[in-house]
Amino acid sequence: MNTESLNRFLYDSKLRAYSIMRRTTYVLTLTAIALLVLGHGVVKDPVMLRMLFRAIDGIFSIFVLIYLLRILYTFERRKFLRRTWFEGVLMLIVFINQVFTYGLDIPIIYDLFDRIGIPLSVEWYRVLVSMFMLVFLVVELLETRVHLLTLQLKPALTFLLSFVLLVLLGSGLLMLPKMTNSPDGMRFIDALFMATSASCVTGLAVVDPGSYFTLAGQVVLLLLIQMGGLGILTFASFFASLMRQGVGVKQHVALHELLESESLFTAKSLLRNLILLTLTIEAIGAVMVFLTWGPDVRFTDLGSKIFYSLFHAVSAFCNAGFSLYPQGLYTEPVRFSYLLHLTLSLLIIFGGLGFPAIIDLFSPQAMRSRMRAPWRNWKMLTRVTVYTTATLLAVGTIGFFLLEYFNTLSQMNFAEALVTSFFQSVTTRTAGFNTVDISALTVPTLMMFIFLMFIGGSPGSTAGGIKTTTFAVILIAVSATVRNKRNMEIGRRTIPHSVAYKAFSVFTFAAVLNIIFIFILSISDSQFDIMKLAFEQVSAFATVGLSTGITAGLSDVGKSVIILSMYLGRVGTLTLALALSTRASSVAYKYPATHLVVG
């Protein structure tokens, strides 16, 4: 067969071949995921496990073959390889591993990682490849008619449903027998609580993640934190743009609304920068955590130290606050690793600033632009975010230092007390790590913490609360009202009244929801002090994760209230209101003005 005949054959059979390859990819990806779940979550028999993993390796071989066929059926092969470089590298790794493992009887991945003390390397490899193919499957579905139903929904409603799906999926995985060290497995309400806490990057826990979950369970928890921190839609859209020509106009609208970018033209570039910057910060953070554990912190092997470093770096940047130590970072000797505390503080601050601010501050394009024109200021959102965050950090640090100097800080010298105060100020507004015993704090400190948790982080971040910009706008509106000014002004700019309405709406929603939930908790869990219940509730709503130690002792009703509070706090009360609202039939009218006495 000559080249012309081959090209004609490929052209004539292209549509049919692509249809077969797409359907085969669907079936095999779902099969591989199911086999992985069985292997890591259910099956314990070694012979059965060997058969399952060989079946998964067989599926991987078919993936390589399908990728080669796609190259064959593509007429512009160089452009195709540039567009699918990530998938190509992954398929090359799979091909090399299959040849060495089954052709030369040399388990190359196992040998390579076992030499540096990283166990379960082959299992990690299979999980990563399968997760990639699952994302690939989602992207394929987004490009077909399946995505039409999704795009007909409001972006806010799609955002809400994506978190519900993630929580339910995580709950099911955590209930599998091999995910926990408990012989009886995990109850549904507890699995739902942990999955919600991880997906909503809160950090409240009804069990100790380090001892209760196996390594597989901890990996599921880590994936839920990462997916919940950045959002499922962000990941799916990013991989769609990475592996294909891009996302459509409606996806851009959704990203514009969810990422709060300034225009549709910046939504796509913001998305790519967001993912790459996040992974870069987390990678650098993991290395810094690895180097700052301190000499007294012991690990079983190098692989365990790497995993602990990665877990705590991701948990810090995503503002989740989960720790694999039984008492969190208060566990000895980690509580004395002050360099580690400062490293985690930086990661928490970066994660809580918000992606628009991070990109404006640290993206290469923005930094080059400021080097060319040093007189140019940050964007207004960045300025408000940074200045408000710095003010709240200073207030929290000084307040904690003064209130706890003769209590939880009494056994520390001045420098240690200052670092601890700064760390608790950072983590209280958003992350939920603790280096002191929260149950031993004084009532004034708990009240200050409730105030800081309620404000939370910044918009577009992984943090919860009403957000720093909401707090700033409310203060500016109050100041303008007291001074009898018609307009609200900041940095020689006028804030529209619609922004103030939105800020007061967020504040009102948050305040009312917290009051209602605290009232329900005072009935369902009356054995606990009202201050502890209020602290637990605000911590859940602000997705902070700090607790006075009552989480595991809550009733099922109490746990359900906290679960709902964590979910509403993560997706945002205003997002929920917008998703459930209907447009007014007409707004082209105005009633006569009236006067009401206020105050």
Determine contact, residues 419/342, Cβ cutoff 8 Å: yes
Q: Residue 267: which pLDDT band, with cuts at 50, 70 and 90?
A: very low
What is the rounded distance in angstroms from the CA atom of residue 389 to the CA atom of residue 394?
A: 9
Worst-scoring range by mean pLDDT, 297-301, 381-385, 516-520? Answer: 297-301
Residue 256: its pLDDT value, please? 47
Residue 541: its pLDDT value, please? 93
If one compares 579 and 244, the residue with the highest pLDDT of the two is: 579
Q: Answer yes or no: pTM beyond 0.95.
A: no
Between 414-428 and 380-404, two packed helices, what is the crossing angle to 10 degrees? 130
Q: What percent of the chain has pLDDT over 70?
A: 80
Residue 494: its pLDDT value, please? 87
Q: Residue 577: which pLDDT band, with cuts at 50, 70 and 90?
A: low
Task: Read off the pLDDT of each residue in 226-255 and give the average, rounded to a whole number.
Answer: 52
Residue 263: its pLDDT value, please? 40
Q: pLDDT tens, 111-167?
A: 666 666 565 555 666 666 666 666 665 555 554 444 444 445 555 666 677 788 889
Q: pLDDT tens, 83-111?
A: 777 778 878 888 887 888 888 777 776 66
Q: Is the dihedral of CA 545, 547, 551, 554 positive or negative?
A: negative
Q: 591 in the Ramachandran plot: left (φ > 0), alpha (ψ -120 to 50) or beta?
A: beta
What is the rounded distance in angstroms from the CA atom of residue 266 to the CA atom of residue 269?
A: 5
Determine contact, residues 569/200, Cβ cutoff 8 Å: yes
Q: Classify burial at 74, counting beta carbons within 10 Å of its beta carbon; exposed 0-12, middle 13-18, buried 19 or more.
A: middle
| Block residue for tokens 């996040």 | 278
Q: Per residue in 152-184, is it b (16+ CB within 10 Å) or e — as a string? A: eeebbebbbebbeebbeebbebbbbebbbeeee
CB neighbour list of residue 495: distance below 8 Å, 6 or more residues apart: 473, 476, 487, 488, 489
Residue 48 tokens, joined: 């059965």
Supply the Cα-derived Rg of the chain in whole angstroms: 26
Three-state SS annotation for 226-267: HHHHHCHHHHHHHHHHHHCCCCCHHHHHHHHHHHCCCCHHHH
Half-sphere exposure of 282 (CA within 13 A, CB side): 23
Q: What Å distances lie between residue 547 and 173, 203, 229, 569, 598, CA to CA?
A: 25, 9, 20, 16, 38
